Amino acid sequence: MTTAVTPVQPESRTPTEPASVRRGALLSLLRPQRGRLAAAIGCGLLDQGFALAAALLGAALVGRALNGESAGALVPGLILLAALVLPKVLAAWAESYLAHDLAFRVLAELRDRCYRKLAALTPGYLLRRRSGDIGATAMADVEILELFFAHSLTPLVVAASVPPACLVAAFWLHPLVGAALLPAVVAMATVPFWLRRRSAAQAERMREAAGEAASEAVDAVQGLSETLVFGRQEHQAARLNAATGRLNRASRAHRSRGGVEKAAGDAIAAVGLIAVLLVALSLVNTGSLAADQVVIVAVLGGFAFLPLMSLVDTWRELSTIRAAAARLLRILDAPPDVVEQAARPVARIEPEVTFDQVTFRYGPDLPDAVSEVSFTIPAGRTVALAGHSGAGKSTCASLLLRHWDASAGSVRIGGHDLRDLPFDQLRSTVVAVPQDTYLFAMSVRDNLRLARPDATDAEVEQAARTACAHDFVTALPDGYDTLVGERGAHLSGGQRQRLAIARALLTRAPVLVLDEAVSNLDADSEAAIDEALRAAGGRHTTLVVAHRPSTLRTADTVVLMNAGRVVDIGHHDDLLTRSPEYRRLLAR
Amino acid sequence: MVNRTLLGLIRPGRHWLALAVLAGVLVSATYAGQSLLLTAAVAQGIGGDLTAAVLAGCGALALVAIRALLVWAREVASARGAEDVKAALRDRLYRHLLTLGPGYVSEARTGGVLTTLVDSVEAIDRYVGVFLPQVLISVLGGLGIVAVLAWIDPAVAVLVAVTAMLAAAAPRLMRRRMRDGLTAFFTGWKGLSADYLDAVQGLPTLKAVGADERFGAGLSAKAWAFHRDSLRFTVVSTVSAGFVGFFAALGTAAAVGLGAWQYASGALSLTSVFAVLLLSREAFRPVTDLMAAFHAGQGALPAAHGIAGLLAARPAVADTGAASLPGTPPEVTFEDVTFTYPGRDRPALDGVSLRLAAGRTTAVVGPSGAGKSTLIRLLLRHADPTGGRVLFDGVDLRDVALSELRSNVALVSQEVYLFHGTVADNIAYGRAGVSRAEIERAARAAHAHAFVAELPDGYDTMIGERGVRLSGGQRQRLAIARALLADAPLLILDEATSSVDVAAERAVVEALERVRADRTVLVIAHRLSTVADADHVVVLSEGQVAESAAPGELLTAGGAYARLVARQQEGAA
């Protein structure tokens, strides 16, 4: 079995990943958006500025009224006050628009990077992490960063500028007024840091619990059939509830801490306001402050805290943001298993495959998966790899596809080391029919065309005919335009495999890798495909990972493997006569 | 935008949510009280009585302390309420899913069902915990503050009430656009999520045929289309928020202006002006809080759509039967059964009649697409036949309770699902409350003991999606052990050896031989090695029974079965 080749403890291969977030990584995404960011921050400051101006104007008007000015004299000020409202609202709207535009741009960019990185990491990395987990990272974690990009950058700048401005104004009114305001402003600014360590730990626990709950849900939904057949509904529901309960307990602590921060922020703002008012009143009493200025003090006392309070609100989610960013960076920073070394394609490649003393291990602590493997597939010939589970058959197939690089020795096509071929050229030379055939949720035709988008309908059909798929495809409700369901759910295993073969044929790559491609077929279609592949074989150099005697028999050469080493090479008939191990393998 | 579906879900959390509302209203009261006390402080202070001012200030401080407690309590209560609602909802959805059965899951795409069960349930959190309580808090709190204002200065109260109502009503004007925007956003989100999952799961395939770059370009285009949807929705939502902000700012400014003007014209006392100044800001707090709460909770609206859709789905088969089964190996009869999948023209089964004799093994063979798997679906009642009947000891399956049917059937399927847990847990899944010795016995009988013993932690090794990966043959042997424990009188083996290599297949076949004793067994197979020792063989072809007899007879008859066997032997030679 190919799966058995996969290292037993996938996580053991994971390199130690950075636990903390590289702050620069997120900020570097902002570089192309500098203009928008500056504009958003400018609008945010304008918004607060207009609001403060309106409030101060209102306070001044009240002050003038207190000083006994007539109602008529206040009218121009009142009109100005009303007029200030419009630009304030416009600035607020513009800030929100610009910040969101910026954030959504960054998110689209991040998703793109995430996919490209995953493509570079395939398939090694995917074996180590669950697919649902990675999908969640690309979508949900990226979306969480919206909070950071759209809702925390401008408030940060506003919070860093408006409260100091209010403080300066307060000091200017009277040093004691400023002194009364200062402690509360400082205290407020520190609120997010009070429980920072606990907050990080809680976010971590919550993330784990959320992942676990999601996994339980996956189990519950994908195993639904088993649950029903074995009558374990209650058991499974209890498991699901237990996971939900754990998540709830984790988030309860998080929420409670958030509540403390919110309450503290609110209280500090109120205490600050009360303190500054009382100080102002005592100053009025001693005659060092005019009575009408008390109103202005009240306005300053209110405004100094508003930006900080909204910042505290956003930054309560900072630990969540950081956790999401860390998950994302774990993907973006993961080193790929192979890197493209050649820039220029080789002129012409003779499709002759050579394994030359190839040794490979999946990780430094793991034993060799294959060692000193040597064999050649002449152009247009078929070599079958035979052996028990874990013999190294699929590893050889993976090495030919350059999923990994050999630790020692080399794999060559037409004399060129795979490492000297650009990825594009390698892919147009070697094509695989993987064991797990994946069909996308689109039409049969589009699934086949993935391999070559410019293929004509006639070419698609020809490939399908060769792979013995044409007949069943035309019997589908909409023929080639029928949508195949998730994972090709509406097709049988044999039908899926035939489509995969057609897809591979369509690429016109001269080297084919078939990994147990025929395991799911009934005898009739297996024979037909066999024949078809042989007919096409004149044009293909083929490496087959085989289990069935029928496949081994039709190969030009069989390479018998055991425990990662080549034991014998020869034609099926010769091996049958001379190799007891081969006979045992085929149960004869 | 109070959503009826979501409102109907809050019962399990109603006590906590009521507490949140109470705390929220009290918080509003402390704000009003603080404003009044500060007004008194300013009035006394300016009047020269500093002691009274400080006393009033201290009173305000006491209110601040009480409020801090209330703010925290509200946060906790709303979180608890939302938790209870979510937990109950998730449980309800899962139980409903169980009645809908696996047919529904595969039709609706596993990813979509998971989104509803996990993300949609999570998405209602803020809506239930924050927005819904805030609706009541805003109404009650707003009314209270306007009442206090009316007591101080009726003119300002009217002004504030009118602008506050305008502010609250403004978003309603944009309701349709808002809903459309939100729907577009979440449709885009769901589509992109599904596409990403598809892409990630299909990456090995994409790379194998060199299509990953092109696919990435398509995905990127979709990500940018989602950027546009997101932004369009944000525009609507911020314009709507802008209106609220506009009226709130205008109202505050107008109230202060009106207060100052009234004072200047002598209609209002100094204390009242100050009260107006502080209270008018508080009067708009309910509106802006409501807007913020809606913004935080709006994600629940499209989620509610998915939740309502799942809850409204009706099972493909009705569980109305009451007949019980004896629990002995049954005789199963398909009587002229026809079945057509929804949306297909051609029937998958077309007038199929066959009999599984009690206590015997019947094999069904035939090329892919012949209708073998459909047979099993009908037998498990994932669907009912379009025509004809399926009988269990003479009783129509439709007359048997589903739970009764399930306890009489065990299945080893083509695609074995192993749950996250230990090997022992997975085997024990077949029957509740079995001992370790029984588990081991079943594993031995299924030829699984030897490889299990070699795993790092033996029977306690974690497997499933988050654990050690097992080979196809190993998985299948665990599934057989599981089915053995279930000890059901009817056993269905659905291509149980399809993904097993020759050596492992022998082990599985041997394991199956022991399982067959004393059971009615239905074997579905591509490979004929598992079929040769069946008591009876049915050959299906294009939804119809082509041949049906003992394997020996079929072989000599020289029909379709004989051809299949010949072909396979030729392949194996």
* Nearest-by-Cβ selection for A278 from B53, B94, B263: B53
Distance of CA B361 to CAs B331, B390, B491, B517, B524, Å? 11, 18, 9, 9, 11
Residue A400: domain span: 353-585
Going by pLDDT thresholds of 50, 70 and 90, the confidence category of residue A133 is low
Going by pLDDT thresholds of 50, 70 and 90, the confidence category of residue B405 is confident
Q: Which of A298, A332, A366 is the last residue of a domain?
A: A332
Q: Which of A277, A302, A332 is the last residue of a domain?
A: A332
DSSP per residue, A493-530: HHHHHHHHHHHHHHTT-SEEEEESTTTT--HHHHHHHH
Residue A143 shares a structural domain with residue A56: yes
With respect to residue A529, please indicate whether it lies within any of the assigned structural domains. yes
Give the residue carrying structure tokens 């502010």.
Answer: B167
Residue A417 shares a structural domain with residue A328: no
Coil, strand or helix at A574: helix
Going by pLDDT thresholds of 50, 70 and 90, the confidence category of residue B207 is confident
Which is more confident, B93 or A435? Answer: B93
Residue A323 shares a structural domain with residue A395: no
pLDDT, tens digit (0-9, with 9 covering 90-100), for B154-163? 888 898 889 8
Q: For chain B, report the end-to-end CA distance as a whole number of angstroms.
A: 72
Most confident of A37-41, B217-221, B303-307: A37-41
Residue A365 shares a structural domain with residue A318: no
Tell me if B526 and A521 make a contact (CB, 8 A cut-off). Answer: yes
| Structural domains of chain A, count | 2
- Helix ranges (H only) for A223-305 are 224-229, 233-286, 293-303
Question: Which of A169, A199, A204, A203 minimizes the C-alpha distance to A185?
Answer: A169
Disruptive mutation site among A3, A102, A146, A278 for chain B (greatest number of B CBs within 10 Å): A278
Residue A295 shares a structural domain with residue A259: yes
Residue A136 shares a structural domain with residue A210: yes
**A443 phi and psi, to 5 degrees?**
-70, 160
Range in A5-9, A258-262, A350-354, B470-474 with the lowest mean pLDDT: A5-9
Instruction: Tell whether the model's pLDDT for residue B530 goes beyond 80.
Output: no
Disruptive mutation site among B83, B113, B205 for chain A (greatest number of A CBs within 10 Å): B205
- Going from N- to C-terminal start, the domains of chain B cover 4-312, 318-408+488-573, 418-484
Q: Sort A443 into a burial class: Cβ within 10 Å, 0-12 / 13-18 / 19+.
A: middle
pLDDT, tens digit (0-9, with 9 covering 90-100), for A480-496? 888 886 545 567 667 77
With respect to residue A81, please indicate whether it lies within any of the assigned structural domains. yes
For residue A39, what pLDDT is reported? 93
Tell me if A262 and B119 make a contact (CB, 8 A cut-off). Answer: no
Q: Say whether pTM exceeds 0.80.
A: no
Q: How far apart are CA B114 and CA A389, in angstroms?
A: 34
Disruptive mutation site among A75, A234, A294, A486 for chain B (greatest number of B CBs within 10 Å): A486
Q: Enumerate the residues of chain B whose CB falls inside 8 A of the CB of residue A96.
A: 234, 238, 241-242
Percent of all residues in chain B with a pLDDT value above 70, rounded to a whole number: 92
Residue A245 shares a structural domain with residue A366: no
With respect to residue A220, please indicate whether it lies within any of the assigned structural domains. yes
Contact between residue A400 and residue A351 where contact means Cβ atoms under 8 Å apart: no
Best CATH choice for the domain B318-408+488-573 from the list 3.40.50.2000, 2.60.40.10, 3.40.50.300, 2.60.120.650: 3.40.50.300
Q: Enumerate the residues of chain B whose CB falls inside 8 A of the CB of residue A259.
A: 71-76, 79
Instruction: Tell whether the model's pLDDT for residue B16 goes beyond 90.
Output: yes
To the nearest whole number, what is the mean pLDDT of chain B? 84
pLDDT, tens digit (0-9, with 9 covering 90-100), for B492-517? 888 766 555 566 667 767 777 777 77
Q: Sort B249 into a burial class: Cβ within 10 Å, 0-12 / 13-18 / 19+.
A: buried
Range in A336-350, A518-532, B168-182, B457-471 with the lowest mean pLDDT: A518-532
Contact between residue B369 and residue B330 where contact means Cβ atoms under 8 Å apart: no
Tell me if B57 and A112 make a contact (CB, 8 A cut-off). Answer: no
Residue A277 shares a structural domain with residue A357: no
Instruction: Tell whether the model's pLDDT for residue A16 goes beyond 60.
Output: no
Q: What is the 3-state secondary structure (H, E, C) of B408-446?
A: CEEEECCCCCCCCEEHHHHHHCCCCCCCHHHHHHHHHHC
B4-10 contacts at long range (C-beta below 8 A, 24 or more positions apart): B5/B304, B5/B305, B5/B307, B5/B308, B6/B124, B6/B127, B6/B128, B6/B132, B6/B300, B6/B301, B6/B304, B7/B132, B9/B85, B9/B88, B9/B89, B9/B124, B9/B128, B9/B307, B10/B81, B10/B85, B10/B128, B10/B132
Instruction: Tell whether the model's pLDDT for residue A10 goes beyond 60.
Output: no
DSSP A44: H
To the nearest whole number, what is the mean pLDDT of chain A? 81
Q: Which of A299, A332, A365 is the last residue of a domain?
A: A332
Which sign, positive or negative, has the C-alpha torsion B349, B355, B358, B359?
A: negative
Question: Which of B169, B387, B159, B198 minimizes the C-alpha distance to B283?
Answer: B159
Question: Which of B327, B345, B351, B341 minimizes the C-alpha distance to B377?
Answer: B341
For residue A449, what pLDDT is reported? 87
For residue B292, what pLDDT is reported? 83
Most confident of A75-79, A291-295, B76-80, B275-279: B76-80
CATH number at residue A376: 3.40.50.300
DSSP B464: S
Distance of CA A581 to CAs A397, A563, B450, B480, B505, Å? 22, 13, 22, 29, 18
Q: How far apart are CA B224 and CA B130, in angstroms?
A: 31
Tell me if B207 and A123 make a contact (CB, 8 A cut-off). Answer: yes
Q: For chain A, report the end-to-end CA distance as a whole number of angstroms.
A: 20
pLDDT, tens digit (0-9, with 9 covering 90-100), for A367-396? 888 999 999 999 888 899 988 777 888 889
Q: How far apart are CA A479 and CA B448, in angstroms?
A: 43
Instruction: Tell whether the model's pLDDT for residue A13 goes beyond 70.
Output: no
Which CATH fold would you assign to the domain B4-312? ABC transporter transmembrane region fold (1.20.1560)
Instruction: Tell whether the model's pLDDT for residue A319 goes beyond 50.
Output: yes
Which is more confident, B559 or B225? Answer: B225
CATH number at residue A94: 1.20.1560.10
pLDDT, tens digit (0-9, with 9 covering 90-100), for B215-262? 888 888 888 888 888 888 888 888 888 888 888 878 887 888 888 888
Q: The tokens of A68 are what?
A: 């006994």
Question: Which of B447, B482, B445 minimizes the C-alpha distance to B463?
Answer: B482
Q: The tokens of B42 are what?
A: 């300013």
